[in-house]
Amino acid sequence: MAAGTLTVMLVAAAAALPNAGVALVATAPGPSPDAIVSLASHEWERLPATAAQAAAHPDALVVLTVPRVVTPFNCHECGGRPERLIAAGVYPPRIRLIAIAESGTYGEALATKSFMRDYNLNHLLVVTSPYHTRRSLSTFRSVFAGTPVTVGVIPAIATSPAHPQSWWADPYDRAYVRYEWAAILYYRLCHGVPIWPAAG
């Protein structure tokens, strides 16, 4: 059986399991970050979690990724994000905006890699939606492989409507969980991103 076919079968099977939601949620705080990146979209859940991490790590820069073409789907409240962070107590000079040349989480990881290199930073913390954490962590660690940068991830659990333990019971969870497992497969086949995050 070809490796690609086996991967498709494994991911399809994982998406149908009762713990398919829980398996998508990763928490890996890592060392005290030099930079905290809030991934674009789902600002209502990601920005409060980002502000909380900024308060916990007052020396870290706070990074916002900006898609090349902004839509309501890839950056719902793009223009107002700095103001929301400032209103939540983040000191304005800490906030950095970085443009994404390529779309999606993979593009965000590439842009953040350049940012970390340009600022000579070594510890990164990614903040995103719970179901997005595993793919984000795997993608960022794959992109940063071979660099001195450590990558951690924090799920925006307190502000998310996600219910990973009973993901099959709610339309929101069912749609997000299926989407993420399909995206994990796509990232594996198109970008070579491991299904499970590498250590570190």
Dihedral (CA of 95, 96, 100, 106) sign: negative
- Rounded Cα distance between 11 and 14, Å, is 5
Q: What is the pTM of this model?
A: 0.90
Domain count along the chain: 1
In this structure, is residue 124 part of a structural domain?
yes
Question: 129-186: per-residue pLDDT in tens?
Answer: 999 999 999 999 999 999 999 999 999 999 999 999 999 899 999 999 999 999 999 9
Question: Interior CA angle at 85 toward 79 and 91, to 5°?
Answer: 120
In this structure, is residue 113 part of a structural domain?
yes
In this structure, is residue 34 part of a structural domain?
yes
CATH number at residue 156: 3.40.50.620
Question: Which tokens hold the place of 128?
Answer: 């995103």
